Structures are given as C-alpha cells and as structure tokens.
C-alpha cells in the first residue's frame, strides 16, 4: 500500500467513525436538542414566550451582592410584551400575537420566566405565577 493510499484509508475510517457516532441522534445532530425533542413530542415547533414575573436574584437584592452579574442585561433580551408588573396571561397573549407573523404555524407555546432567577421567590409566589402561565390554553 502506498503512503497516499494509507492516508485515504485512514481518512475513510475516520469519516466512518464520525458517521457511526452521529447515528441515533435525531435531526442529524450530534446531540439531542431540546427544540428537536419538543418538535417530535408535539408534532410541531413550540415557540418560547419570554415572561417577566418581577423576580430578582440574590446578587441584585443585597442578599449576596448588588448590581448583578456583568453579562446579565435583561433589557437586552426582553421583547416589548414582557414587562414586570403586567399580568402573566396578558404577557402570554401579547407574546403569541408578537410571534404570530414570524411563526404562523405555532400553536403551542412555552412560558419562559426569563428575568433574573426564576425560582427566587417564596413558594406561594412561585405557585401563583407558574399556575397563571399553566392555565393559559396555549401553554
Ligand atoms: S440572575 Fe443570575 S446572571 Fe443575573 S445577576 Fe442574578 S445571578 Fe447573575
């Protein structure tokens, strides 16, 4: 076998190993993406709706610090419909309307409590806002 043939043989084996490792991963990816999992489970894309329930976090409220992390700029990833103090159901309705043009086929949605630490509140408060989201007919 020539040196060139050996290189091609090694390359061929390498590609076969890569292809073999990709088998079993849905959507042709090398990992099981959450978006792909949801699409398989519900038969369609699920669109995320950003919700602001007015949470804070211990690095902002003074428990551990103030000012928060440098990279945590919630204003940068908050669409207009997601506003602290606005009822959760209204944020969801406006979010669905916001995404209606871009994702006309979307019927089901994920309520994503984006702002700060979305488990940082007393249990009763968490239950209240989570149940408000879960009671929406399209969530
Ligand atoms: S919510 Fe998380 S990332 Fe943002 S300031 Fe608090 S600890 Fe940092």
Q: Which of 69, 71, 98 is nearest to 83 (CA)?
A: 98
113 lines ligand 1 (CB under 6 A): no
Query: Are 71 and 28 members of one domain?
Result: no
38 lines ligand 1 (CB under 6 A): no
How does DSSP classify residue 108? Answer: -
pLDDT for residue 20:
61
How does DSSP classify residue 28? Answer: G
pLDDT for residue 23:
61
Query: Are 109 and 89 members of one domain?
Result: yes
pLDDT for residue 21:
59
The answer to whether the CB of 76 falls within 8 A of the CB of 50 is no
pLDDT, tens digit, 9 for 90 and up, residues 82-109: 988 999 999 999 999 999 988 888 899 9
Looking from the CA of residue 74, the nearest atom of ligand 1 is 4
The answer to whether the CB of 82 falls within 8 A of the CB of 133 is no
- The CB density around residue 41, as the number of other CB atoms within 10 Å, is 9
pLDDT for residue 7:
79
The answer to whether the CB of 128 falls within 8 A of the CB of 53 is no
- Is pLDDT at 125 greater than 90 in this prediction? yes
Query: Are 38 and 20 members of one domain?
Result: no
Number of domains in the chain: 2
Model confidence at 22, pLDDT cuts 50, 70, 90, reads low
Q: Which whole-number Å values give the CA distances from 138 to 20, 47, 80, 132, in the listed order?
A: 39, 11, 20, 12
- Domain assignment of residue 139, yes or no: no
**Numbers of helices and strands, H then E, in the chain:** 4, 2
Q: Above pLDDT 70, what percent of the chain?
A: 94
Query: Are 26 and 92 members of one domain?
Result: no
Query: Are 50 and 25 members of one domain?
Result: no
> Where in the sequence is the domain holding 87, given as residue range(s)?
33-134
Q: What CA–CA distance (Å, rounded) separates 6 from 60? A: 60
What is the 72 CA–ligand 1 centroid distance (Å)?
6
- Is pLDDT at 56 greater than 90 in this prediction? yes
Query: Are 94 and 80 members of one domain?
Result: yes
Q: Which residue has the higher pLDDT, 62 or 1?
A: 62
For ligand 1, pick from 66, 68, 115 the residue to mutate: most ligand atoms within 8 Å of CB.
68
């Amino acid at each position: 076998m020539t040196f060139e043939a050996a290189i091609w043989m090694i390359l061929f084996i390498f590609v076969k190993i890569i292809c073999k490792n990709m088998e079993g991963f849905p959507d042709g990816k090398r990992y099981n993406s959450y978006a792909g999992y949801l699409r398989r489970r519900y038969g369609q894309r699920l669109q995320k709706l950003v919700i602001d329930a007015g949470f804070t976090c211990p690095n902002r409220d003074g428990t551990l610090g103030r000012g928060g992390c440098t990279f945590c700029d919630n204003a940068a990833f908050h669409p207009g419909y997601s506003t602290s103090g606005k009822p959760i159901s209204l944020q969801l309705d406006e979010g669905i309307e916001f995404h209606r043009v871009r994702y006309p086929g979307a019927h089901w949605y994920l309520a994503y409590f984006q702002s700060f630490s979305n488990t940082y509140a007393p249990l009763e408060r968490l239950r209240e806002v989570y149940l408000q989201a879960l009671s929406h007919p399209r969530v």
